Each structure stands twice: as structure tokens, then as C-alpha cells.
Amino acid sequence: MRYFEVPFDSNMNRTKNRPLVRGQISPLHAVSFALACGIPGVALLTLAVNPLTGFLGALNIFLYTCCYTPLKRLSIVNTWVGAVVGAIPPVMGWTAATGSLEPGALLLGSFLYCWQFPHFNALSWNLREDYSRGGYRMMSVTHPAMCKRVALRHSLGLIALSTLAPVLDVTTWTFPIISLSINLYISYLAARFYYKGDRNSARKLFFCSLWHLPMLLLLALTCKKYSRSQEDTALLTLTPAAK
């Protein structure tokens, strides 16, 4: 939560111009706005969507505010907690539509979880000086070798998850085949980042991550595995009514 990070964000080039840091928004207004959005938002999800989605929304606010934010100054574990925070919103989308935590929801969240490591580790690599000035304990600052290794490991994990999708009956077997090229490419860039560890390899991996995720999810959507009931419904919709 930015309210707690104002004294530290003022030391970083990346964050020193944020409205709270510059005094364009008062702390009272920031907290009031957060509460005005968070409390009704969770209530709306619970009452108008379903309790499970509301619970996940409340859980994510708690994880971000009470766990991830303070951990950024205490331990590199913050990155793993932050990855969970980033993975929950798409799971909420699934539970909003189905009302349950199906294998597809967990798979979708796992894609987001794994993707965040090459994405953020590459980004933070070129911002090490900034994070160090702010006092944030990021892998790129305190454990640079681990930072590169974790990015590579989770890039390869995207290949495994893509292969798992048809096993869980979420997509057809076409998906792991047609997604292999982009998964291999991001893994290749992660390997270059692992071996070179320079600004250029980090930058290339980061920019690849920006298009990789939407492309991967688009391919998964294209290869979506329809259930028998969905196929029957589609067939009835397309078949002219008998006269």
C-alpha cells in the first residue's frame, strides 16, 4: 500500500514522482479512497457475485497490504508473496463465472504466478540501485544469482503448465504444441539472462514478458476444451428448429 511506502519511495527515481510522495494527495485522502473502494468492492463481490470470489478479493487485499508491502523491506520472500497476489485476480474471474475453484482456475493462477518471476526479476535487475536506495530487499539486490536462477526456473515452468492444461481437460492438446515456440523463446531469453546477467539480457527478457503472457492466454482461449454439455448447447443453437 503506497501510504506506508512514502518515506522510502521518495528515495527512488522510479517512484519519487508518485502523487503521494509529491504531496498531491494527502495521506487521509489516500486511505479514505482505499477504504471507499475496498470495503464496498468486497461486499459487492460477495453479495452480487458469490462468497468465494468475495473471499478471494478480501484475501488479496490482506496479502498485498499486510504481507507483501511490509515484507518488501524485510525479506526476498516478498517476491513469492507478490506473485500469489498477482495470480489471484484471474482466479477470481474464474470463480465469478463458475462459483467454484476448478482445476482450470488453479492452472490459470499458476500461469500468472510463474510468469511474474521472469517479468519482475528482469525488471528489478535494471533497477537494483533504485531498490537499494529505497531499502527494499529484492532478489536482484541481495541475491543476484538466485534472481537469475528463479527467473529461468519459472520460465521453464510455463512449458510444464502448458503441457498440463490438456491433462486437466482445460484445453486441447493443440495448445501445448502451438504455445511451445513462445514458451521456448522466453526460456531462451531467461537462459541468456541467467548466463550473462547484464542490463541488455534483462531488458530483452522483460520486454518479451510483456507480450508473452497475453499471447499465451490467447492461445489457451483459442484451444479451449469444451465440455459435452457446452457442445450440445452450441449444436442446438446452430441447428434450425424442426418444423
For residues 113 and 130, the model is more confident at 113
Structure confidence by residue, pLDDT tens digits, 171-219: 999 999 999 999 999 999 999 999 999 999 999 999 999 999 999 999 9
Q: Rounded to whole angstroms, what are the CA distances from 31 to 4, 42, 54, 134, 205?
A: 10, 16, 21, 22, 35
Confidence of residue 234 (pLDDT cuts 50, 70, 90): very low
**Average pLDDT along the chain:** 86
Q: What is the pLDDT of residue 2?
A: 54
Q: Mean pLDDT over residues 132-155, rounded?
A: 91
Q: What is the pLDDT of residue 15?
A: 58
Structure confidence by residue, pLDDT tens digits, 62-107: 999 889 888 988 999 999 999 999 999 999 999 999 998 999 999 9
